[in-house]
Amino acid sequence: MTDTPRIAAWFDILLDKKGSDLHLGVGYPPLGRIRGELVPLREEALTTDELESLLFEICSPEQKRQITEELDLDFAYGYGTKARFRANYFYRMTGIGAVFRTIPSKVLSLEDLKTPEVVRKMADRRSGLVLVTGPTGSGKSTTLAGMINHINKTRPAHVLTVEDPVEFVHESLKSQVTHREVGPHASSFATAIRSAGREDPNVILIGELRTNETMKLALQLASFGVLVFATVHTNSAPATIDRIINSFPADEQGQVRGMLAESLAGIVAQQLIKTADGKGRVAALEILVGSPAIAAMIREGKVFQIASKMQAGQNQGMQTLDMHLERLVKDDVILPEAALEKAQDKENFVKVIQRLKPDWQVPETLKA
């Protein structure tokens, strides 16, 4: 095995182009996701032999056994000091394939991310459940890493992360940061979270709440005086609350509503949108801050009222996604079309844009 694996050449090209993901599949050229678009990195397609040698060269024998027997493999790969990658190997019609997601070696601070003050206040809390939600690739991990980084720099706490795989690696500063990876360090998220309660943590980051068992454990820890951060794949704050409650059987939903109402500190739902100059992407955020009024709505099953509460709660730092999109369009950070694509109430948002930009023409595709 050479010191530098052959796949490093593709990592270098991806990093040089500031790409976020490298897609490798038999019968296709290597593709890089650059500023949100998939771009071929060469003309010739990858052959089975070439791709297998690229992928297996950086695998341990155990990982190779897992991908060939179980047909799926997730792991984190450290590329020297340049970057870390979250790797996913899988099989599809044409043969083996892989996607490498770049995890920057430098953890961006909340200031670097231009995150609103209210998000920092959530990180300053001593207990409760903070959920960061959004589709795949919307920057959830980056926002959470910024919040953990803020805690690590500002207070002596025991911070425990439970991830699959570990993404951002935090060096202990004021806090003691312990990283645990599902697979090498624990058999499942649930097992790791259960033992986490016995490891005297002040803060726990759970990579993803995938099952109602992990959701219940997270809610319990939050109610025991731990600050719990987690991600969920949903597109808005109200949808996140519904998703958690509806993942439980009907006879347990009342109890879960009560636990969620009591422990919810906040929800940050984010989308990444290409900037107007085409040079980068910006996060549009929907922010819900836990309060007695929000808790009452959750407890009474009136989640549909939460959006209007968020619109009225600007003095607490709350905002709907459409409110943030409106500001980004007004400040010319993003184009009206890009905002409209992500807007939740598209009909109303067309009127908002027409008010902000009287010369703007509604695209034909949206005149339905």
pLDDT tens, position by position, 125-171: 999 999 999 988 888 999 999 999 999 999 999 999 999 888 888 99
What one-character DSSP code corresponds to residue 170?
P
122 located within any domain: yes
Same domain flag for 90 and 166: no
Same domain flag for 314 and 166: yes
Q: How confident is the model at residue 339 (pLDDT cuts 50, 70, 90)?
A: very high
Same domain flag for 127 and 265: yes
Q: What is the pTM of this model?
A: 0.82
Domain residues for the domain of 43 are 8-103
C-alpha atoms less than 13 angstroms from C-alpha of 167 in its C-beta half-sphere? 23
Domain boundary among 55, 70, 103: 103
pLDDT above 70 for 104: yes
For the domain that residue 320 is a member of, what is the CATH number?
Answer: 3.40.50.300
Once rounded to an integer, what is the mean pLDDT over residues 16-40? Answer: 93
Residues 6+ apart with CB under 8 A from 164: 74, 181, 182, 183, 189, 207, 208
Number of domain units in the chain? 2
Question: Is residue 306 exposed (0-12), middle (13-18) or buried (19+ Cβ within 10 Å)?
Answer: buried
Q: What is the pLDDT of residues 355-367, one digit of tens each?
A: 999 888 887 766 6
- Quick one: pLDDT at residue 1? 43
Same domain flag for 44 and 176: no
Once rounded to an integer, what is the mean pLDDT over residues 67-82? Answer: 88
Q: What percent of the chain has pLDDT over 70?
A: 98
Same domain flag for 94 and 122: no
51 located within any domain: yes
Domain boundary among 53, 71, 103: 103
